[in-house]
Structure 1
Amino acid sequence: MNSLTTTLPAPPRVSRGFGRDVGKGVWLVAGLIAAFLLLFLLLPVGTVIYSAFVTELGQPTFGHFLNFFGQTLFRESFVNSLQVSVLSVFFASVIAIPLAYLTVRFDFRGATVIQTLGVLPLIMPPFVGAVALQLIFGRSGSLNLVLNDWFGITLPIMDGLTGVVFVESLHYFPFILLNLVASLRNIDGAMEESALSFGCTGFRLFRRVIFPLAMPGYLAGASLVFVKVFDDLGTPLVLGVTNMLAPQAYLRITSVGVDDPLGYVISVIMICFSILALWLAARVMKGRDYSTLQKGGNSLQRRTLTPGMSLLAYGWILAVLLVVLSPHIGILLMSIAKVWSFSVLPEAWTLQHYSTAFNEAGGMIGNTLLYCGLAAGLDVILGTAIAYLILRTRLPARQWLDWAASAGLAIPGLVLAIGYLRLFKGLEIPFTGTLVTASWVMLMLAYAVRRLPYALRSCYAALQQVHISLEESAQSLGASRLSTIRRIVVPLMAGGILAGFVTSFITAAVELSATILLTSSESNAPMSYGIYLFMQSPAGRGPGAAMGVIAVAVVALGTYLSHWVVERNASRASARHAQP
């Protein structure tokens, strides 16, 4: 995850005699990839940026931005989005930093289970968790009902922007947790021992030595949290908060139309701040040395907590996990609750919601599998091809393909969808009479473009582990480049390709920002859109929760299968290397 905020490392030098000549096939593949990225990423985003700086007659202007900042609502939305994003990063850090440090630094029983449970929020759409959290922490939720009965007080946890920060912090803190755990594990334990020998202990040791060395991982996760929160559309809409940038962009485009310049101004601001967050994370680390002399073999030594400290640590972690997993608990209870209103727990139970979900939204489940499956398949094909061009050829300016593909990470889904609506406005699919923007293909392509960076990194890492001598040997025996790729490279990359496929699939399955704008009818809608529609009315929240549980189950199963296959391939590889 750490590498998600930066471009890929410089490709290793291609050995002599391999990939020296850039054949027609290489140029053709590179051209097709460049054309895809140009048509479905660069041009739509460029159209959005262009539309924000020109008048209706095509004359350059800054008047749209002056109009934007001249209106109180838009200034308020801009400030609110910044505040929510920064506060979400802060509270996500409060959750993730102690959790990562305790489970890596100390001899903790169940550390792996704790870290696994800490990642679960990522597999649930945040807007689904927002509804569940309202039932638990809202004004009339379970917690406030108990507090009112016992102490006569209520806590405004889910009110307005506070509720948005609460939901976003709980949902996105795993980005920091995953990156920080990886960084902490790579710290050379000798540096800690040196600090201890000079009397640096306790919190001072963490503040002066350990955390600064883990800073790359923390900044990578924090920048991702900022970008994701700044981009999120579903959570504010579900909570009824519209005075933020993403909801305002959505409302302007859907109410005024795709010709509204203020919608494009908001989109440009969202792009700029997303890129700025990723750039700042890289900039802070630039020129500083975080490397250690040893890795893995002499990592931070696990230390034993005293009984008192152990009790406090386990108590804190249990309380944190209970809050973190409350959306999952709430959505599960909601999916089987017949009546749940103004009560601590549901008053009656039923499985009818699941029947309704399958009967009324069975097509949406199939659509999700189709769209996300095609998008993930396209991602691993493009990711494998780009990784091969970078690592195995001497194609001029091949690094630009990586930069262009990675740009999707900094482009909000809402902005990409607006770009598609603007760029392909009025175009029809040949021989069908169907508008391009009304086709489910646009939605699938939006999923693919936004998830391509994830698949690219998995494929790149997998190809790095395939020694080039294997390909050279095959070609020296007369195998063509295509045959070598098909019979040697791709099979050896299978684990990384599968990991990239599953990562793209599960993240696309919970996408709402692009989905809500590009879905033209319920017959073409995926599950995320169906869940959002159900959640709009109290009567539909039961079936919506059932669909949410199904979505979480699908994503969790896919995640488990990917880990299982990758670990099995790694075990087989280790066994082969161990053979004499």
Structure 2
Amino acid sequence: MTNLAIGRLRRFSATPGQMAVVLLIAAFLLAFLLVPAATVIYVAFTEKGTSNLTLVNFLDFFRNDLFVRSFWNSVYVSSLSVVWATLFALPLAVITTRFQFRGAMLIQTLGFLPLIMPPFVGAVAMQLLFGRNGSVNLLLDQHLGFKLPFMDGLNGVVFVQSLHYFPFILINVSNSLRQIDSAMEEAAQNLGSSGFRLFRRIIFPLAMPGYLAGASLVFVKVFDDLATPLLLNVKDMLAPQAYLRVTSIGLADPMGYVISTILIAVSIFAMWASVAVMRGREYSTVQRGGGGLARRKMKRGEAILAYGAVTLVLLLVLSPHIGLLLLSFATIWSFSPLPDGYTMANYGRVIGESSIYIKNTLIYASLAGLIDVVLGGAIAYLVLRTKIIGRAWLDWAAMSALAIPGVVLGIGYLRTYYGVTLPDGTPLATLSIMLVLALSVRRLPYALRACYAAMQQISVSLEEAAENLGANKRRTVRRIVLPLMMGGILAGFVTSFSTAAVELSATLMLIQSNSEAPIAYGLYMFMQSPAGRGPGAALGVIAVILVAVCTFASHYVIERSQKAMGARK
């Protein structure tokens, strides 16, 4: 054997423990992500009742006016939601990163709040505030004699979704703006560029990677959302149609799988397009000095305009939370700008009837978060610290969960595992553990990116030093790597926990009884009737507080751990 061959063999060699971890992760992703998704796609391309491949199902889809209309409605809603989310996010991002603006951190924090409320819960609150007979339209009609169709049909879905998902654009654009080299702006100003022209020609193009990353996430999230259109009684969109076909006609109906396949295809295309647009272009800059755009002081007129714009956007952004809080205390709220009276009875009912929802949510979301950080940390270590063949495929397979909508994953689990039964005849797909696995698979990319980023910040020399002092790989990982990664691990856990706690699409497909249901399912059931919306709002407030407390606690622990690490240095 030549020296080159020996070198390659050593490069790609792995310990038995590392190979076992790779195989376990691969088996998990195969069983609970790739196989269910592949099953959905396979059924979409097979003739009903046989295993013969065919395109007839797709031809039937495009011959059906309802399905074609649903497809274009989904594209319309997703695209317009990106536009409106951009209009909400850009002013906040630019004002808080480019100007000396008092309260910038508070505004960024408030801008993140929509993500900790399920969008379908915000939809009910938005109906009460902006609906045809909501608070705003009643006041407009009373004082100005007209009403605006904020929440009518598809407009309502766009309004709710853009307010809920705009933080994706806000966070990514703000981060991109902070990374731009101030020398680029100074050079443009020296050449006579200023104001909006400077922003349009220099600043925003350099922040384009962040914007496209956020915009693609908004598009995919809106395109795949199930509960918000259903609660607003908008059924002619793709995700609701997939759910309705499976629940009303059954798992044997091929149209549910065709729609699911199209959902996957469009999600993949949107994510690919966001990368393809940037391909071949250069966005990097060489930072000098402190780097980042210089914050300039606003003139009086600019300050008034900025504070006015920020106040307007924040009022819109926080309106679902305000409406939800008012509804949770309301006795009756109908055809009036504010509730007729206030009571604590809704909270009493929720605490008495819905404690099981809260308990299940804590169990399911905690288990999902734990699974995610274990898998995410292991994949990050394998990719960055080993040369095992196929490690990049693990990363790709885990990240592909972003392109699999929750309703599609739920349908895939039912189709794949409903026929697999326990000794007592119970279908495997009906067990609550399947929901935990679905939630963990859906949130794995978030935890993986957090762990990956934390791993990248750890110098290999620290591990080499430990090994030179006699520590084996296992001891090095336990005593050196894990403590240094703890901030990223906690961030990944909280992200997975908080988003899993309000996941509804997969939950609607897999939950079989109220006794096994989490908060998201309970919220959806309460919101189905006017009589249940008060208690549902109370449960929604509890859900928001639960997620917010966990998020705050994680940030507190992360800061404490970082300070402790700094003190040791």
Check if 1:407 corresponds to 2:405. Answer: no
For 2:188, the equivalent position in structure 1 comes to 195
Alignment of 1:88-487 (within 5 A): 88-294=81-287, 297-429=290-422, 431-487=423-479
Give TM-score scaled by structure 2 length: 0.97
Among candidates 24, 34, 37, match of residue 26 of structure 2: 34
Alpha carbons 1:18, 1:472 under 8 Å: kept: no
Q: 1:478 deviation in Å?
A: 3.0
| Match status 1:530 vs 2:522 | yes
1:215-269 alpha-carbon deviations (Å, 9 max, x no partner): 0000000000000000100100000000000000000000011111000110011
CA offsets 1:369-420 (integer angstroms, 9 cap, x no match): 0001001000000011111111111111211100001001111111111100
Query: Residue 572 of structure 1 aligns with which residue?
Result: 564
The 3 A distance-change label for structure 1 pair 394 and 295 is farther
Distance 2:71 2:232 in 1: 18
Unaligned stretches of 5+ residues in structure 2: 1-6
Query: Contact 1:187/1:295 (CA < 8 Å) preserved in 2?
Result: no
Count of residues paired in the alignment:
562
2: CA distance between counterparts of 1:296 and 1:333? 50
Distance 1:389 1:205, change over 3 A: same
- In the alignment, is the contact (CA less than 8 A) between 2:183 and 2:288 conserved in 1? no
Please name the residue that 2:531 is paired with.
539
Are 2:18 and 1:47 equivalent residues in the alignment?
Answer: no
Report deviation, 1:39.
Answer: 0.4
CA deviation after TM superposition for structure 1 residue 559, in Å: 1.2
Q: Is the 8 A contact 1:172 1:225 kept in 2?
A: yes
Amino acid at match of 2:540: G
Q: 2: distance between equivalents of 1:505 and 1:483?
A: 29
| Equivalent-residue separation in structure 2 for 1:330 and 1:503 (angstroms) | 25
Amino acid at match of 1:510: V
Q: TM-score, normalised on structure 1?
A: 0.95
Q: Bigger shift: 234-243 or 52-61?
A: 52-61
Query: Displacement of 1:558 after TM fit?
Result: 1.2
Q: Residue type of the partner of 1:452? A: L
2:543 corresponds to 1:551: yes
Partner of 1:8: none
User: For residues 155 and 176 of structure 1, do their structure 2 counterparts lie closer, same or farther at Cα, with a shift above 3 Å needed?
Assistant: same
Q: Distance in 2 between matches of 1:351 and 1:16?
A: 70
Tell me how far apart the structure 2 counterparts of residues 477 and 208 of structure 1 sit (CA, whole Å).
55
Q: Distance in 2 between matches of 1:516 and 1:259?
A: 18
1:336/1:353 contact within 8 Å kept: yes
Given the superposition, is the C-alpha separation of residues 353 and 295 from structure 1 closer, same or farther in structure 2, using an over 3 Å criterion? farther
TM-aligned CA deviation for residue 472 of structure 1: 2.1
The whole-number CA distance in structure 1 between the counterparts of 2:62 and 2:39 is: 22
**For 1:198-220, what per-residue CA distance to the aligned partner results, in whole angstroms no more than 9, with x for missing partners?**
11111100000000000000000
Give me the whole-angstrom Cα distance separating, in 2, the residues matched to 1:236 and 1:297: 46
**Greater Cα offset, 474-483 or 448-457:** 474-483
C-alpha contact (below 8 Å) 1:440/1:519 kept by paired residues: yes
| Structure 2 partner of 1:493 | 485
Aligned equivalent of 1:24, options 16, 37, 49: 16
The separation in 2 between residues aligned to 1:303 and 1:87, in whole angstroms, is: 33
Q: Deviations 1:274-333 (Å, cap 9, x if unpaired)? A: 011110111111111100101781211111111112111101110111011000000000
Equivalent AA in structure 2 for residue 440 of structure 1: S
Equivalence for 2:4 = none
Q: Displacement of 1:518 after TM fit?
A: 0.6
C-alpha contact 2:62 2:68 (8 A) present in aligned 1: yes
User: Does structure 1 residue 86 correspond to structure 2 residue 79?
Assistant: yes
* Residue pair 1:365, 1:527 contacting (<8 A) in 2 also: yes
Bigger mean CA deviation after superposition, 533-542 or 558-567: 558-567
Contact 1:73 1:243 in 2 (8 A): yes
8 Å CA contact 1:531, 1:544 repeated in 2:
yes
User: Residue type matched to 2:43 in 1?
Assistant: S
Q: Is the 8 A contact 2:12 2:389 kept in 1?
A: no
Please give the alpha-carbon distance, in whole angstroms, between the structure 2 residues aligned to 1:203 and 1:473: 52
Q: How large is the Cα RMSD of the aligned pairs? A: 1.6
Amino acid at match of 1:381: V
Equivalent position of 2:59 in the other structure: 66
In 2, Cα distance between equivalents of 1:236 and 1:352: 29
Letter in 2 for 1:522: N
Gaps of 5+ in 1: 1-14
Residue by residue, what CA displacement relative to the aligned partner does 1:84-122 show, whole Å, maximum 9, x if unpaired?
000000010011111111111111111111111111111
Structure 2 residue matching 1:347: 3-state secondary structure: coil
Q: Give yes or no for contact 1:408–1:452 (8 Å, CA) kept in 2.
A: yes
Partner amino acid, structure 2, of 1:39: A
Deviations 1:111-141 (A, max 9, x none): 1111111111111000000000000001111
Superposed CA offset, 1:408-433 (max 9, x none):
1111111111100111122223x443
d(CA) in 2 for partners of 1:432, 1:305:
71
Q: Is the 8 A contact 1:380 1:500 kept in 2?
A: yes
- 1:3 matched to which residue of 2? none
Counterparts of 2:325 and 2:203, CA distance in 1: 39
Equivalent-residue separation in structure 1 for 2:545 and 2:189 (angstroms): 46
CA distance in 2, matches of 1:137, 1:555: 26
Kindly state the Cα deviation for residue 150 of structure 1 after the two structures are TM-superposed: 0.7
Amino acid of the structure 1 residue aligned with 2:169: I
Per-residue displacement from partner, 1:121-180 (whole Å, max 9, x unpaired)?
111000000000000001111011111111111111111000000000100000000000
Q: Distance in 1 between matches of 2:510 and 2:70?
A: 24
Q: Distance in 2 between matches of 1:358 and 1:115?
A: 33
Residues 290/188 of structure 1: CA separation in 2 closer, same or farther (3 Å cut): same
Quick one: distance in 2 between partners of 1:220 and 1:119? 16
